[in-house]
Amino acid sequence: MSDHKPGRLVVISNRIALPGQTSTGGLASAMQATLQERGGLWFGWSGKVSNNEKLHRVSHESVDYATFDLSRQDHDEFYAGFANRTLWPLLHFRLDMVDYQRSHLDGYMRTNALFADHLLKLLKPDDILWVHDYHLIPIASMLRERGVKNRIGFFLHTPLPPAALLIVLPKHRDLLETLASYDLVGLQTARDLRALEDYFLYEIGGTMRKAGRLRAANGRRFRAGVFPISIDTTLVAQTAHDAESLEEIEQLHNSLEGRALIIGVDRLDYSKGLPERFRGYAHLLERAPELHRQISFLQIAPTTRGVVPEYRQIRKDLERSAGHINGMYAAPDWVPIRYVNQSFPHSVLTGYYRNARVGLVTPLRDGMNLVAKEYVASQDPENPGILVLSRFAGAAFELPDALLINPADTAEVADALERALKMPLKERQWRWRAMMNVLENHDINTWRNGFLAALADVQTEPVNSQN
Ligand code: F6P
């Protein structure tokens, strides 16, 4: 029997949620839950731009937080540049939007090295390092160069496109081969894992002895696996139940005057398929006049990455589109779309989900999409709503009992909305039960424990063993 305690968990991500901060995006909320449960250190960008090079440290309950500011140049080249104008569109299959500049790649590498230098000062020999997302792909190789021998895992929250798309990125090999410096690379779905395996096997001369056991051309071995991220299902269900007593929920409920609510909640990002979603809704209004005044669509879309031009553009496009639809169909006593550009506390959102007959989640591509899962977990078991879900969200792999649609097909979106709005209670109930079973069996704890157990397992292999 071993009484060996697992080492401290060190989570490394660009965006972190400091104590008391409301986080947007799946990554921060998932890591908040993970660290609160297990304790450890969370290291990342402070969210501020300045020339202050010092680390900021705070502790809250069992979690230590260490952050640092980015200089203007690093922010522009690393965050607003290579991460969000090159990698983000590439990883979301949007080659048309990829902006590649050599200076941005240099800034990305330089800032990853800065993360590594800061982190080095905080590390202990037994620490288990867990790096998150596309901002920090090369950090493990930089830590290895600096002598770090700890177990290091990486989880990609976004999709990974097929190798044929990845190779469009100039110098793709310099970046992607560094994934081999991790001990374990986690992906959201089997499709993403296949893309990684194909890339290493067919594009850069790696080998694979068994599924998920890869060797890079430089000889370094690593493992890769599928770990679909999830939510704290029990907590979300309880929060939604308790939210019924909140003033905000009562206000929404009263404002609906018995109309069926359709809800969408997304960061204002072009990958979320919002213009297509609005067109799908307009299509429904056009062909189902009997639904006018009977329904209301609430789209919540807090602005993110406002420094990136493509995000400013999508905001303008959506304002125009919402205005156009309301102009066409609104009546003195009815507004078809309520388009709200702000964020809400998590508890309020779960209450909104519970009051919505339809959850409309239609990204063009999405790593997982935790809104889809939270919508399901928030429902009233006696009278659940229906999830209309893009087949291009990672969540579609786990939730086949949602109404799955292709978001580019506006008629299909309209069909699914109509079907959901008219669906009998019995069907809503069995669909909801099937989805809820999945989420109860696979929640945020299963995800975290599964990943960390697999990472610890890699540790037991003799360092020099052959594949
Ligand atoms: O969940 C995906 C993700 O890209 C995270 O990596 C990121 O932190 C989050 O969305 C929000 O984006 P940002 O950090 O750019 O505000």
Q: Residue-wise pLDDT tens for the chain (467 aa)?
A: 445 677 999 999 999 999 888 766 778 888 888 898 889 999 999 999 999 999 999 999 999 999 999 999 999 999 999 999 999 999 999 999 999 999 999 999 999 999 999 999 999 999 999 999 999 999 999 999 999 999 999 999 999 999 999 999 999 999 999 999 999 999 999 999 999 999 999 999 999 989 899 999 989 999 999 999 999 999 999 999 999 999 999 999 999 999 999 999 999 999 999 999 999 999 999 999 999 999 999 999 999 999 999 999 999 999 999 999 999 999 999 999 999 999 999 999 999 999 999 999 999 999 999 999 999 999 999 999 999 999 999 999 999 999 999 999 999 999 999 999 999 999 999 999 999 999 999 999 999 999 999 999 995 444 444 43
Dist CA 408 CA 423 (whole Å): 23
Q: Which of 133, 135, 374 to mutate to test the pocket of ligand 1 (most atoms within 8 A of CB)?
A: 133
Atom of ligand 1 nearest to the CA of 304: 16
Whole-number Å distance between alpha carbons of 270 and 93: 12
Q: Which domains does the chain have, with CATH numbers?
A: 9-230+445-466 (3.40.50.2000), 233-441 (3.40.50.2000)
Q: What spacing in Å lies between the alpha carbon of 237 and ligand 1's midpoint?
A: 24
Q: What is the whole-number distance in angstroms between the Cα of residue 69 and the centre of ligand 1? A: 17
- Verify whether ligand 1 is closer than 6 Å to residue 157 (CB atom): yes
Ligand 1 pocket test target in 22, 45, 135, 157 with most atoms within 8 Å of CB: 157
Angle at 313 between CA 360 and CA 90, to 5 degrees: 75
Contact partners, residue 413, CB within 8 Å, separation at least 6? 276, 277, 279, 280, 281, 283, 284, 362, 388, 405, 407
pLDDT recorded at residue 24: 63
> Are the beta carbons of 456 and 45 closer than 8 angstroms?
no
Tell me the C-alpha distance between 214 and 198, whole Å: 11
Residue whose CB lies within 8 A of the most ligand 1 atoms, among 16, 22, 24, 90, for a mutation test: 24
Please report the atom of ligand 1 found closest to the CA of residue 134.
6
Residue whose Cα lies nearest atom 11 of ligand 1: it is 25
Pocket probe for ligand 1: among 12, 18, 27, 311, the residue whose CB has the most ligand atoms within 8 Å is 27
- Is the CB of 27 inside a 6 Å radius of any atom of ligand 1? yes
Give the per-residue pLDDT at 3.
Answer: 52
* Contact status, residue 347 vs residue 357, Cβ threshold 8 Å: no
Handedness of CA 258, 262, 265, 268 (dihedral sign): negative
Q: Is the CB–ligand 1 distance for residue 283 below 6 Å?
A: no
Distance 383 CA to ligand 1 centre (A): 33
Ligand 1 atom nearest the C-alpha of 158 is: 2
For residue 354, CA distances in Å to 133, 253, 377, 425 come to 30, 11, 9, 15
Q: Where are the beta strands (DSSP E) in 205-336?
A: 207-210, 213-215, 221-226, 260-265, 295-300
d(CA 225, CA 204): 19
> Is there a contact between 86 and 175 (Cβ–Cβ < 8 Å)?
no
Q: Which atom of ligand 1 is nearest to the CA of 27?
A: 1
User: How far apart are the CA of 45 and the centre of ligand 1, in A?
Assistant: 12
Both tokens of 307, joined, read 């420094």
For the Cβ of 133 lying below 6 angstroms from any atom of ligand 1, the answer is yes
Residue with tokens 């003799």: 462
User: Which residue's alpha carbon is at the smallest distance from atom 15 of ligand 1?
Assistant: 305
Whether ligand 1 lies within 6 angstroms of the CB of 26 is answered as: yes
Packed helices 425-441 and 370-377: angle between N→C axes, nearest 10 degrees: 120
d(CA 368, CA 343): 20
Please say whether the beta carbons of 336 and 329 come within 8 A. yes
205: left (phi over 0), alpha (psi -120 to 50) or beta: left
Burial class (CB in 10 A: 0-12, 13-18, 19+), 399: buried
The helix-helix angle for 26-38 and 370-377 (nearest 10°) equals 70
Number of CB atoms found within 10 A of residue 130's CB: 26
Residues forming the active site: 157, 366
Cβ–ligand 1 contact at 46 (below 6 Å): no
CA of 79, closest atom in ligand 1 = 15
CB 29 within 8 Å of CB 7: no
Strands (E), 316-379: 337-340, 358-361
3-state secondary structure of 206: coil
Ligand 1 atom 14, closest CA:
15
The answer to whether 246 and 347 have CB atoms below 8 angstroms apart is yes
